């Protein structure tokens, strides 16, 4: 018999906690201290604990390690969430005629959002983290590659034309909910082309709402960048060659 607490609420909380603590491992702070004599990246450059600031302020090697880890922790979190929901929740939901793929995707979203939240507000580093762009990109890529291709395409178009990472990230974040709705509604729901079978309309609204909230948070975290873009003072990408 299906139990809401045992089969959904408890796995959701566990997945969210594990993903949050994983997301809280701020690689930009760790690798900056390792490569730049115990310096805190939040005291350098823009003050943001992210890969772009590491690239500008510390160097290529530290930025590469930061990039890989921030992307990896988002990917691992999504895989954990999907696996837990696939093997715990899906079995309980089967008698209710709920698509197991949809259930697993909900687990992936919960894990991804929690990981991004941990990256932005890391418990290990005084709740002062990065903006969550790379970790969000990993989440999107692992949840739906079609949405990822659209979002990364928008990012690349703006980056290649402006060389401004923040502007490119903002435009990509704004595209995320739009791309999610287009894919889930017109292809998965109306077109019935989902790889693992039909999806309910509730899945469309839930995933679109989650992606909208995430896009909003990412744009909000770039509010100081937006001011600099308006003033024409936002820096284009440059590289520190110290390391």
Which ranges in 88-184 belong to alpha helices (H)? Answer: 90-93, 100-120, 133-143, 145-162, 165-181
Q: How confident is the model at residue 66 (pLDDT cuts 50, 70, 90)?
A: very high
113-152 pLDDT, tens digit each: 999 999 999 999 999 999 999 999 999 999 999 999 999 9
Cβ atoms within 10 Å of 224's Cβ, excluding its own? 13
If asked whether residues 56 and 125 sit together in one domain, one would say yes
If asked whether residues 104 and 204 sit together in one domain, one would say no
Domain range holding 192? 145-237
If asked whether residues 62 and 135 sit together in one domain, one would say yes
Q: Tell me the pTM.
A: 0.92
Cα–Cα distance measured from residue 86 to residue 102, given in angstroms and rounded to the nearest whole number: 9
**End-of-domain residue from the set 89, 116, 143:** 143
If asked whether residues 92 and 62 sit together in one domain, one would say yes
If asked whether residues 19 and 124 sit together in one domain, one would say yes
If asked whether residues 99 and 67 sit together in one domain, one would say yes
If asked whether residues 138 and 165 sit together in one domain, one would say no
If asked whether residues 110 and 5 sit together in one domain, one would say yes
Identify whether 111 is part of a domain.
yes
Q: What is the pLDDT of residue 5?
A: 67
Q: 27-35 vs 60-84: helix axis angle to the nearest 10?
A: 150
Identify whether 243 is part of a domain.
no
Residues 176-188 have a mean pLDDT of 96
Cβ atoms within 10 Å of 44's Cβ, excluding its own? 18
151-172 pLDDT, tens digit each: 999 999 999 999 999 999 999 9
If asked whether residues 1 and 117 sit together in one domain, one would say yes
Answer yes or no: is pLDDT of 14 > 70. Answer: yes
Identify whether 8 is part of a domain.
yes
Identify whether 155 is part of a domain.
yes
Tally of structural domains, the chain: 2
Cα–Cα distance measured from residue 211 to residue 206, given in angstroms and rounded to the nearest whole number: 9
């Amino acid at each position: 018999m299906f139990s809401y607490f045992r089969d959904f609420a408890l796995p959701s909380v566990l997945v969210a906690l594990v993903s949050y603590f994983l997301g809280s491992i701020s690689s930009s702070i760790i690798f900056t201290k390792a490569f730049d004599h115990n310096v805190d990246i939040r005291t350098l450059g823009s003050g943001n604990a992210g890969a772009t600031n590491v690239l500008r302020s510390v160097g290529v090697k530290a930025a590469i390690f930061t990039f890989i880890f921030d992307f990896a922790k988002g990917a691992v979190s999504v895989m954990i969430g999907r696996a837990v929901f696939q093997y715990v929740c899906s079995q309980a939901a089967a008698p209710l005629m709920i698509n197991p793929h949809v259930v697993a995707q909900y687990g992936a979203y919960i894990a991804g959002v929690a990981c991004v939240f941990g990256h932005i507000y890391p418990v290990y580093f005084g709740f002062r983290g990065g903006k969550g762009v790379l970790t969000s990109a990993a989440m999107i890529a692992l949840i739906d590659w079609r949405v990822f291709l659209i979002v990364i395409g928008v990012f690349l178009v703006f980056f290649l034309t402006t060389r401004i990472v923040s502007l490119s990230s903002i435009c990509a974040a704004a595209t995320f909910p739009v791309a999610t709705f287009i894919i889930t509604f017109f292809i998965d729901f109306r077109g019935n082309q989902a790889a693992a079978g039909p999806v309910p309309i509730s899945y469309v609204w839930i995933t679109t709402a989650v992606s909208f909230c995430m896009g909003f948070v990412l744009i909000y975290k770039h509010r100081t960048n937006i001011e600099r873009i308006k003033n024409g003072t936002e820096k284009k990408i440059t590289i520190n060659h110290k390391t």
